[in-house]
Amino acid sequence: MLFIKGVELECSTPFIVRGQRDRSQRLSLMAILQKKSKRRFKLWLFKGVKEAEGPHEREGQHHQHPWWKVMCLTGVDYFSTLGYQPGIAFIAAGALSPIATLILVLLTLFGALPIYNRVAAESPHGEGSISMLENLLSRWKGKLFVLVLLGFVATDFIITITLSAADATAHVVENPFVKAHAPFLNHKIGVTLFLIAILSAIFLKGFKEAIGIAVLLVAVYLLLNVIVLIVGSFHVITYPEHLPEWKNALLTDPRVHGNPLLIIGVSLILFPKLALGLSGFETGVAVMPLVRGDKKLSSKDLQAIHSTKTGRSPEPSTQTLLKGRVRNTRKLLRYAALIMSVLLIASSFITTLLIPAQEFEKGGQASGRALSYLAHSYFGDLFGTAYDISTITILWFAGASAMAGLLNIVPRYLPRYGMAPDWARATRPLVIVYTLIAFAVTIIFNADVEAQGGAYATGVLVLMSSAAVAVTLSVRRKGGPWWAFLLIALVFGYTTIVNIIERPEGIKIASLFIGAIVITSLVSRVWRTTELRVNKVELDDVAKAIIDEASRGTIRIIANRCDQGDAAEYRMKEKEKREDNHIPAGEPIIFFEVNLGDASEFAGVLRVMGDRVGGYRVLRAESPAVPNAIAAFLLHLRNKTGKLPHVYFGWSEGKPLA
């Protein structure tokens, strides 16, 4: 027995040991594979993807295009509002909606257009009104104002994504073929979330080229809308009873008591609810880097234009190139505004006259899809389905344009302010964050188009009001006729306030975005204070000569807080440091002085200027953080000279923690 057991032990022990070793190796291999898999996922997630072609992209990221093609890119957002604007207008103003729409169009042509023509001229790189206000307001005031505006930008773009997806869903679930053959799609929230998820997946993979798709979508969509509106106009003319019925509805509206003057007065009060029709201007300026000027730009031209972003005065040739871009951007804004104005007035007038009022209500066949209702009614379900498909695709692409705008604008400001971690420059983490927010907004609003209209209008109006204020301040500083722009700013201010009072959900959502941005930004700023905060060190010729001389021996730097800046001061401080630190008399010394700059700036270029004062070598620089600047300069010296510099500090007279 013992022998058998012994044999068993003798035979099985190597097997057990080998099995344990194999199992250990397998576990070790699995751990390595898991680690590599996590690393690959992390690299994929945080990989800096090329910016999407769309609003707020940086200079020279993509090819430039003729202005009319870029107009189509802004048009997927601007023109796609025809999918829901007539229905929202009727719900807000009833029979008065054509009059209220006319007032909105007048504000578009004589208010928004002049404002954004000026914004285009003053921000030819596409920074828009946000950058104008940042430059007009100094230090922390400008940055806090930008953070608040970014909250409204986030509101505008996120609601564009969710509202467009919700209206696309309305066109899906109300389509007769879907009702007959795919009733399982009759779940608004589910379909809307699915459309947003597809949008997110495409951006996670990498969404870059947009112009070609936008031109096709806009051309088809506008053509179908023009056909529907022409046939609708024909019906209004053919059946003359429609006009008397509308006139009777106007005069019997309980808000006007049959008074024609009250019709105008009430429409002035109601038109802010229709402000969704103003959505294309900020985007129109944001895509300026994509607009080709009077000629196709070479890489040298692009470099010359890009150099003007740093504050350098442009050369005459560069100024001519920028003027060509501004001129064509103004064409883009003008023609987009004219096209949309005609379509807004025609769609509001025709849908109000031809669609029964009850069909606009929630659950009605025209709810969120007034023009689609007419397309099905007058052309049949085949044409109507083609119209629905066109509307769904352009609405979905409007969400893509909004996502591109978000992905491009956030890395432009927050990481530069030190108010976001560096991973915020990567596309994919931001896509995931925005998608989760869009999911939450969709669920909160129950994927309802009309319910989200107020929040969308709030974001649009605040941005337009800020643009009007920025232009007013800019024109006043330059001594121009600023009173006209002040009047426009007051009109937009009134429109914004009325919209907020009537529909406070917009300001509530914007407040959440603003609060989240401000809190996370300040926490991130504090967290990142120990970073180097210097992107690059630049030395002038004198500074280079001083360092070359010092690099022949031991490099000794005295960090000095400049008082008088004369030879007597440097003589006294040199004597003090040599005695305190036993520096040999023959060893050369360099004084390094850093003046405190704009503390609200986080990082930038450290420009070091050299000077010789009575035989003493002095290097001077300016930085928002003195210790960080000194550290960056010392690292630069080590890397350039290959020597470890010695640096000597002195205690300040105040408390160490002050």
Q: What is the DSSP letter of 56?
A: T
Reported as a pLDDT band with limits 50, 70 and 90, residue 13 is: very low
Reported as a pLDDT band with limits 50, 70 and 90, residue 350 is: very high
326-345 mean pLDDT? 92
Lowest-confidence segment of 574-578, 600-604, 618-622, 649-653 by average pLDDT: 649-653
Mean predicted lDDT score pLDDT of the chain? 79
Cα–Cα distance measured from residue 200 to residue 611, given in angstroms and rounded to the nearest whole number: 55
87-103 mean pLDDT? 89
pLDDT for the residue numbered 342? 94
Asked whether the predicted pLDDT for residue 335 surpasses 90, the reply is yes
Lowest-confidence segment of 133-147, 406-420, 541-555 by average pLDDT: 406-420
Asked whether the predicted pLDDT for residue 585 surpasses 80, the reply is no
What's the one-letter identity of residue 397?
F
Q: Name the architecture of domain 67-306+314-527.
A: Up-down Bundle (1.20)
Lowest-confidence segment of 378-392, 414-428, 599-613 by average pLDDT: 414-428
Reported as a pLDDT band with limits 50, 70 and 90, residue 168 is: confident
Token representation of residue 440: 């939450």
Domain-wise residue ranges, the chain: 1-46, 67-306+314-527, 534-648
Cα–Cα distance measured from residue 368 to residue 121, given in angstroms and rounded to the nearest whole number: 37
Reported as a pLDDT band with limits 50, 70 and 90, residue 10 is: very low
Q: What is the pLDDT of residues 523-563, one digit of tens each?
A: 877 777 777 778 888 888 888 888 888 888 888 888 888 88
| Closest listed residue to residue 225, CA positions, set 383, 87, 336 | 383
Higher pLDDT, 418 or 562: 562
Token representation of residue 268: 């002035």
The strands making up 556-559's β-sheet, listed across from edge to edge, are 534-539, 604-613, 616-623, 590-596, 556-559, 646-648
DSSP 263-291: HHHHHHHHGGGGGGGGTHHHHHHHTGGGB
625-646 mean pLDDT? 86
Higher pLDDT, 31 or 151: 151
- % the chain with pLDDT above 90: 15
Q: Half-sphere exposure (CA, 13 Å, Cβ side) for 290?
A: 28
Token representation of residue 592: 């390094």
- 610 Cβ contact list (under 8 Å, min separation 6): 539, 540, 541, 542, 543, 544, 545, 546, 617, 618, 619, 620
Cα–Cα distance measured from residue 157 to residue 170, given in angstroms and rounded to the nearest whole number: 20
- % the chain with pLDDT above 70: 81
Q: What is the pLDDT of residues 434-479, one digit of tens each?
A: 899 999 989 988 888 877 877 788 888 888 898 899 899 888 888 8
Q: Specify the 3-state DSSP secondary structure of 653.
A: coil
513-525 mean pLDDT? 80
Q: What is the pLDDT of residues 100-120, one digit of tens each?
A: 999 989 999 999 999 999 988
Asked whether the predicted pLDDT for residue 94 surpasses 80, the reply is yes
pLDDT for the residue numbered 421? 62
427-431 mean pLDDT? 79
Q: What is the pLDDT of residues 278-325, one digit of tens each?
A: 777 877 787 787 888 776 655 665 555 555 554 555 566 666 677 888
pLDDT for the residue numbered 14? 43
Cα–Cα distance measured from residue 159 to residue 154, given in angstroms and rounded to the nearest whole number: 8
Q: What is the pLDDT of residues 184-224, one digit of tens each?
A: 888 889 999 998 998 888 777 765 556 778 888 899 999 99
